[in-house]
Structure 1
Amino acid sequence: MIYYLNPTIMFRKILIAVNDDEYARKPAETGFQLARTLNAAVGIVFVIDQRLTVNPMDNDISPLSPLEIMESLHREADRTLDELMGRYAGDQPAERFTPEGRPTAEILNTAESWGADLIILGTHGRSGLMQLLTGSITTYIKHHSKIPVLIVPSEH
């Protein structure tokens, strides 16, 4: 893979935003490779989406409380980050972030507070009506980030 970068921009801190689906692998791989090439620090963020704790079913029927759902989401985030770091980081250290909130806001907040110079995100490859109906974290970040964003397409 060849990267064409503006030589006047220094990427010292790269933030890789991931989630628990198969589309997280390619951005993680790309981010760690680019960080090694540029000798940059790596941060990897998995946002715990608090909206997933809202259960549309009555609490008398639901088998899990919002607290149990949140704990499950944290375990999933840790598993995902462990798996991606084990697969792509090698001996390269990375700072891990698992903020709670809306993914769009928390990715941008993490990038700003950590001092990232670049955000790397994946895309599901949706377009048109499907993207309009489901929304797109990547599209939002691309339009609202104050720093460069590298979008890595899925392999599917």
Structure 2
Amino acid sequence: MADKGKQRKILIAMDGSEYSEGALKWFVNHLYQKDDDVTVLHVTDHRSSASYGSNWMPVDPTFVHTAFKEEEEKAKITIKKLDAILMDAGVQGNVVRAHGDPGEQIVKTSEELGVTMIIIACRGLGKIRRTIMGSVSDYVVHHSSIPVVVCRH
């Protein structure tokens, strides 16, 4: 039985996709309580931009700098969008941002904030793509020490 006096701390991992918006809507419709402490986490992963010199990206560092700037601008737009989504959903919470591998950052941030539950979307990639690319939701489920709710599209 849940302790009625204890405030729940919820972390919702959102990348700005329709899938993550669906996860937030599911949370609001099925789990959200007015006294929940909700944090939306957006992770920026610059690793693909930093791998210049590979077969698919020229060695020109100017290109890498430009790619970083474009990703930063996209992240700022996404953060504003996530703030608006929270407000529209009537959820009291805040949006935070982390940098690095999304799965690792979600687990790390949840530990730092002492959250009691993680909500994350699943994009539904096929087994082959998931095996090759990995899956953020799969990583979080297997590395988190707290409950993780994975919302399928």
- TM-score for the superposition, normalised by structure 2: 0.80
Are 1:14 and 1:35, in contact at CA under 8 Å, matched by a contact in 2? Answer: no
Are 1:13 and 1:42, in contact at CA under 8 Å, matched by a contact in 2? Answer: yes
Q: Distance in 2 between matches of 1:50 and 1:138?
A: 19
Other structure's SS at 1:51 match: coil
Are 1:32 and 1:42, in contact at CA under 8 Å, matched by a contact in 2? Answer: no
1:47 aligns with 2:43: yes
Percent identity between matched residues is 24
Match in the other structure for 1:62: 63
* C-alpha distance 22-63 of structure 1, shift in aligned 2 (>3 A): same
Query: Could you tell me how far 1:11 is from its partner in structure 2?
Result: 6.7
Are 2:46 and 2:68, in contact at CA under 8 Å, matched by a contact in 1? Answer: no
1:30 aligns with 2:26: yes
Query: Could you tell me how far 1:95 is from its partner in structure 2?
Result: 2.1
Other structure's SS at 1:47 match: strand
Matches within 5 A, 1:115-126: 115-126=114-125
Point out where structure 1 has 5 or more consecutive residues left out of the alignment: 1-6
Match in the other structure for 1:106: 105
> Residues 95-143 of structure 1: CA distance to partner in whole angstroms, max 9, x if unpaired?
2110111101110111111110000001012232222122100001001
Q: Distance in 2 between matches of 1:46 and 1:60?
A: 26
Aligned AA for 2:66? S
> Residues 8-55 of structure 1: CA distance to partner in whole angstroms, max 9, x if unpaired?
477711110010221111111123342226x32111001011214325
Query: Could you tell me how far 1:87 is from its partner in structure 2?
Result: 3.3
Q: Distance in 2 between matches of 1:134 and 1:103?
A: 12
Match in the other structure for 2:14: 18
Match in the other structure for 2:83: 82
| Coordinate RMSD, CA, aligned | 2.4
Match in the other structure for 1:147: 146
Point out where structure 2 has 5 or more consecutive residues left out of the alignment: none
Equivalent residues, number? 145
Aligned AA for 1:87? D
- TM-score for the superposition, normalised by structure 1: 0.79
Which range moves more in the overlay, 73-82 or 114-123? Answer: 73-82
